[in-house]
């Protein structure tokens, strides 16, 4: 491994661009290669066997690009167990933070909401992590199957999105939840709408900063952190390149980005 090698970032679609935004802000000297599997998104409703096969293909593709680290910018993939993805390649793998400490710090009465995909909610791992940090916490997990298709479809101002937000936040309002974590990397695209729906007394958290901090710590430990230069962002997708470019414009400085359509079977 060499510190001049790029960092790989992967997701099932465009959601991980929210994590790439944070990584780029915190690591401006690093080069990044982002892969969004837009041809097969969403992953959250697929079987574990399918998902493992997809992520294996992406990691192999990134390995061929000589990356020094891979950040799994997808909660669904992180729920598979990042440990099971380590060791197959020479680089380290960093998964999404569950944000337990952030949530507890933001919720005086320990009433916490989790918004995520069906797969992530079914795993129960966010609730387990929060209760492990504080057994007195009350955790309200809500699966949001309508969000990813609406975000991927750029339906940001649609009545359907507003209706979905109202539907998924209703249990939080009834329970008096004080802090909510966006445990799908797509959801920061609609963070402002969720905040507006929940009101000023509810803190809506994005775990991207904690995830980026974990990536930085791992690079420092391995002596792979770059401290000078100007990093570039290579944004790759498996379908719908024009749409990905538009959505990237909501998160990234596009002048620093190179966009390309890729085939994961080719390197």
Euclidean distance between CA atoms 259 and 267, whole angstroms? 16
**Catalytic member of 74, 144, 237, 257:** 74
Residue 75 assigned as binding residue:
yes
For the sheet with 138-143, list strands across it: 138-143, 111-116, 179-182, 203-205
Hey, how many other C-beta atoms are within 10 angstroms of the C-beta on 112? 30
Residue 199 assigned as binding residue:
no
Residue 11 assigned as binding residue:
yes
Residue 157 assigned as binding residue:
no
Residue 12 assigned as binding residue:
yes
The residue behind tokens 């359509």 is 261
Residue 24 assigned as binding residue:
no
The residue behind tokens 């209703």 is 170
Residue 238 assigned as binding residue:
no
Euclidean distance between CA atoms 237 and 261, whole angstroms? 5
* CB hemisphere CA count around 7 (13 angstroms): 29
**Catalytic member of 184, 236, 237, 257:** 184
Query: Among this protein's residues, is 184 annotated catalytic?
Result: yes
Query: Among this protein's residues, is 144 annotated catalytic?
Result: no
First-to-last alpha carbon distance for the chain, in angstroms, is 19
Cite the annotated binding site for substrate by residue number.
11-12, 43-44, 75-76, 185-186
Catalogue the active-site residues: 74, 184
Cite the annotated binding site by residue number.
11-12, 43-44, 75-76, 185-186
């Amino acid at each position: 491994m060499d510190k001049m090698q790029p960092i790989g970032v992967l997701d099932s679609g465009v959601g991980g661009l929210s994590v790439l935004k944070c990584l780029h802000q915190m690591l401006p000297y690093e080069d990044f290669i982002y892969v969004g599997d837009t041809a097969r998104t969403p992953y959250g409703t697929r079987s574990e066997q399918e998902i493992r096969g997809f992520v294996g293909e992406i990691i192999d593709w990134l390995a061929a690009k000589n990356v020094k680290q891979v950040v799994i910018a997808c909660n669904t993939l992180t729920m598979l167990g990042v440990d099971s993805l380590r060791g197959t390649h020479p680089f380290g793998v960093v998964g999404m933070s569950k944000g337990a400490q952030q949530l507890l710090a933001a919720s005086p009465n320990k009433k916490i909401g989790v918004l995520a995909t069906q797969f992530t909610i079914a795993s129960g791992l966010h609730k387990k992590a929060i209760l492990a940090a504080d057994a007195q916490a009350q955790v309200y997990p809500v699966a949001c199957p309508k969000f990813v298709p609406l975000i991927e479809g750029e339906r940001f101002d649609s009545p359907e999105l507003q209706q979905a937000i109202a539907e998924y936040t209703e249990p939080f309002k009834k329970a008096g939840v004080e802090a909510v974590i966006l445990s799908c990397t797509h959801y920061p695209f609609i963070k402002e709408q969720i905040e507006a729906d929940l009101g000023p007394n509810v803190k809506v958290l994005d775990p991207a900063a904690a995830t980026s901090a974990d990536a930085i710590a791992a690079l420092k430990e391995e002596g792979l952190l770059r401290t000078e230069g100007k990093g570039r962002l290579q944004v790759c997708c498996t379908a719908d390149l024009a749409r990905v470019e538009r959505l990237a414009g909501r998160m990234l400085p596009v002048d620093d980005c190179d966009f390309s359509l890729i085939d994961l079977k080719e390197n």
